[in-house]
């Protein structure tokens, strides 16, 4: 299914599509890893910052 959509697009190189997909997935995975590894007190401090 993914291959059919890519081959149907004209004027766009497949390399750019794959590159943009890899960049997006890397950024998304990086944000998830950062959230899991960050100390939870940091999020509590940031949550209360506007109220201080």
Statement: residue 19 has pLDDT above 90: no
Residue 48 lies in a domain: yes
Residue 35 lies in a domain: yes
**Cβ contact 9:17 at 8 Å:** yes
Number of folded domains in the chain? 1
Closest CA to 33 of 45, 25, 41, 21: 25
Residue 9: per-residue pLDDT: 67
Instruction: Specify the pTM.
Output: 0.58
Statement: residue 5 has pLDDT above 90: no
Confidence of residue 51 (pLDDT cuts 50, 70, 90): confident
Residue 50 lies in a domain: yes
Residue 33 lies in a domain: yes
SS3 content of the chain, % helix, strand, coil (to 5): 85, 0, 15
Residue 1: per-residue pLDDT: 65
Residue 9 lies in a domain: no
Domain hosting residue 39, numbered range: 22-52
Higher pLDDT, 15 or 48: 48
- Over residues 18-31, the mean pLDDT reads 93
Residue 30 lies in a domain: yes
Structure tokens at 46: 């940031």
Name the phi and psi angles at 12, rounded to 5.
-120, 125
């Amino acid at each position: 299914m993914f291959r059919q959509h890519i081959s149907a697009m004209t004027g766009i190189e497949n390399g750019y599509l794959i590159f943009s997909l890899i960049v997006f997935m890397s950024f998304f995975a990086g944000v998830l890893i950062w959230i899991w590894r960050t100390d939870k007190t940091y999020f509590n401090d940031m949550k209360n910052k506007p109220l201080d």
